[in-house]
Structure 1
């Protein structure tokens, strides 16, 4: 009977609008939920098969939920460096536990990036889900794979200890006074035969100078440079200069201070590391060609490759002209390159006071972790109070062919479904994935004005469906009352 079908159509209307009301209620309740994606009840008509000449049978309406998962919310600035948002497409990969992940453990996807460091140092969001990323290996490389979740690891920033960085480069900006008076020791060294007090790097050197006893040769100018060893310990190198009787040439020595910091081979004494001549052009610049021509007599025969190579403390005994760090220091081998020809200055000889403009070195003493930064490419970087930075991991982003078809789960996260298609893991800013915004959170996509308008229309539609039922009921009552 058509009246019965009308009654059932009214019931389907009540059911469909109840589902629509539930979706609206869920949206309004999550208006301030980070990364929440709104849902909406959508209606489709249901038509029954009709028999010719038997009247019309109402089918009613059916409600289905549509999830606007691909709709992005506005990014809002926060004060926490571990709050993360995504500007563009993609989802953070998260897990329900941090350690001992097995292939069968669930991997979820979310845009709720309110991550905090837990008591074990892992990044965990407010739903208790742990952030996954590609770790940085011992060589500083990241091995990514677009389809292998097994390569991801829970990002841990609490396991990063202190660090140090050995010095590998020294840039010296200094001037030697060209009108410096030639010392008696340099004059004796030029005499034939050499005088009694002649400068000699083996027997009467600047490294032997003792101002209290007067032993050795007093340098005309000396520069001390602090360097860091492999453990972050502070060592000192001294560069001593003595003007020669030959114009535009200076005797030079590089030594360790104190001398006990190094073990030297033959031809080196009192902590010496390198001895030889330094030559300058007539306009005061370092004369690379002249030093090359001096060969073994030069401090560095190739100033462009001026390097000191320290052997490790436990290394074999140094050969002639070689040197190791002292055994009691217990430190690793080290190479330190000298930049004496820097465009900004370098080592010069002008007729002004001998002075050090600057000594620039890399390497740092031991430092502790001070903060963690995450850049737009998703690189998680530890910053230490000694200025050293170290990459820890890179946040992985997952994209889907149909993100609106992902299955919602508790914690404002999603699972892969048949309709969503398989995931693709990407680095931020590549292959359609968005950029990571640190100290930002994605706002809910709920628009209250839209939801309140939907409340009104849903309420009216529900009332109208109830009127269908009451009207059909009255018609049935009228039909029953025909026979009395």
Structure 2
């Protein structure tokens, strides 16, 4: 056995435990980071060939893994733009560089331009939506996605297109008698218009009709927004009308734990993660979207503190191996004296 080999083995152990302490530190620092996935250090042995009655000590190498597929606890908030995913999938967000990423961090708020942006500055992406018509999804890419923007379009108004009116002629009216009534409708700007109707008795039996609702509405201000479990984003107006604007897109891969972590608690496609598949909440393997909720980190502080103590003790033990090897080497040097 080589004393130099012993010392190298001790250094290898210290480096491995240092890496483990680094992941523990990162996990503890991000214990309150929305959607954060804990990192762990996995160890594997390095064996050197031995022979002629001598043993060559090897070492240890480490690999950092992320528990991306392990969900964190769901906490509820008072903001409708806070989003969590109950099940599989990731939100698709756009970075400042224009590139799309995946994330579980759904703490979105409108920025100065009305775009929904999370705490790390990534913009939520979705498809423009029309009521009753699902947008076309490119299942293996991000084509067609646009930024989810809740900027106010001002007052909303709708012109009247249909309506009905009920009317009765006086019971004693004679044939040829004319009566007049009016009806309020809305033009394309939401202004009220009065339509006058003249009706004449032409036979012994007068017509009768049911109903009276006119469609269209007067101008109304934006009062807020809401997002349903299917990911449809509605702008809500003071008159109670909901205007669907977008449908949030979700994405997933075959091996989420193999995604490549990036700064800002986002992920990009990794070498072994599999291809990215996009779709909508509630379909396939995608979970439902929870509005007014956030996914907490999946860090267990008690577990991290335990790992910290273990790493500290193991680091100390490996340093003792190095120190002992160094002392034995010094004895050999002193033999010449």
Q: Give TM-score, length-normalised by structure 1.
A: 0.64
Q: How many pairs align?
A: 337
- Kept in 2, the 8 Å contact 1:17–1:63? The answer is no
How far off its partner does 1:169 sit? 5.5
Give SS of 1:161's match. Answer: coil
Structure 1 residue 139: Cα displacement:
8.8
Write the distance in 1 (CA, Å) between the matches of 2:99 and 2:219: 40
Deviation string for 1:417-456 (max 9, x for gaps)? 1111111011011110111111111111111000000011
- RMSD over aligned Cα atoms: 2.7
Residue in structure 2 matched with residue 365 of structure 1 by the alignment:
218
Task: Check if 1:7 corresponds to 2:11.
Answer: no
Task: Report the counterpart of residue 261 of structure 2 in structure 1.
Answer: 408
Find the aligned partners of 2:31 and 2:53 in 1 and give their Cα distance. Answer: 50
d(CA) in 2 for partners of 1:133, 1:114? 16
3-state DSSP class of the match of 1:69?
coil
- Kindly report which structure 2 residues correspond to 1:202-241, keeping only aligned pairs within 5 A, or say none: 204-207=177-180, 226-236=184-194
Aligned partner of 2:143 in structure 1 is: 150
Task: Indicate the residue corresponding to 2:24 in structure 1.
Answer: 24
Q: Deviations over 1:295-343 (max 9, x none)?
A: xxx748xx7xxxxxxxxxxxxxxxxxxxxxxxxxxxxxxxxxxxx2xxx
Distance in 2, Cα, partners of 1:30 & 1:404: 18
Report the CA distance between 1:138 and its aligned residue. 9.4
After TM superposition, give the deviation of residue 11 of structure 1 in Å.
0.3
Would the alpha carbon gap of residues 467 and 168 (structure 1) be closer, same or farther in structure 2, given more than 3 Å must change? Answer: same
Determine if contact 2:280/2:286 at 8 Å carries over to the other structure. Answer: yes
Q: What secondary structure sits across from 2:312 in the alignment?
A: helix
Q: 1:475 aligns with which of 303, 328, 331?
A: 328
> 1:481 offset after TM fit, Å?
2.9
Deviations 1:261-295 (A, max 9, x none): xxxxxxxxxx43x656799xxxxxxxxxxxxxx8x
1:275–1:422 distance in 2 versus 1, CA, 3 Å: farther
Structure-2 separation of matches of 1:107 and 1:14: 38
Matched residue, 2:91? 92
Compared CA separation, residues 403 and 276, structure 1 to 2 (3 A): farther
Structure 1 gaps of 5+ residues are 190-198, 208-221, 237-255, 258-270, 280-293, 304-339, 341-345, 347-358
Find the counterpart in structure 1 of residue 286 from structure 2.
433
Contact 1:17 1:462 in 2 (8 A): yes
**What is the rounded CA distance, in whole Å, between the counterparts of 1:483 and 1:276 in structure 2?**
134
Partners of 1:433 and 1:116 lie apart in 2 by: 23
Q: For structure 2, which runs of at least 5 residues remain unmatched after alignment?
A: none
SS of corresponding position for 1:150: coil
Tell me the equivalent position of 1:308: none
Rounded to whole Å, the distance in 2 between the matches of 1:162 and 1:418 is 49
Following superposition, the deviation at residue 49 of structure 1 comes to 2.1
Matched, 1:36 2:61: no
Deviations 1:68-107 (A, max 9, x none): 111111111112111111111111111124xxx9xxx421
**2:68 is paired with a residue of what secondary structure?**
coil
**Contact 1:134–1:395 (Cα < 8 Å) also in 2:** yes
Query: Partner of 1:46 in structure 2?
Result: 46
Q: Note closer, same or farther for the CA distance 1:95–1:479 as it changes in structure 2 (3 Å cut).
A: same
Residues 188-220 of structure 1 show CA distances to partners (whole Å, capped at 9, x for unaligned) of x3xxxxxxxxx51xxx4112xxxxxxxxxxxxx
- After TM superposition, the structure 1 stretch with the greater mean CA deviation from structure 2, 469-478 or 148-157, is 469-478
Matches within 5 A, 1:50-449: 50=50, 52-97=51-96, 105-136=98-129, 141-167=134-160, 170=163, 182-183=171-172, 186=173, 189=174, 199-200=175-176, 204-207=177-180, 226-236=184-194, 256-257=195-196, 271-272=197-198, 299=207, 340=210, 359-449=212-302
Provide TM-score, normalisation by structure 2: 0.91
Task: Write the distance in 1 (CA, Å) between the matches of 2:229 and 2:166.
Answer: 37
Larger Cα-atom Rg: 1
Q: 1:275 to 1:94 in 2, by over 3 A?
A: farther
In structure 2, relative to structure 1, the CA distance for the partners of 1:12 and 1:161 (3 Å cut) is: same
Compare relative contact order (CA 8 Å, sep 6+) and give the higher one, 1 or 2.
Answer: 2
1:473–1:134 CA distance, 2 compared to 1 (3 A): same
* Contact 1:165–1:388 under 8 Å retained in 2: no
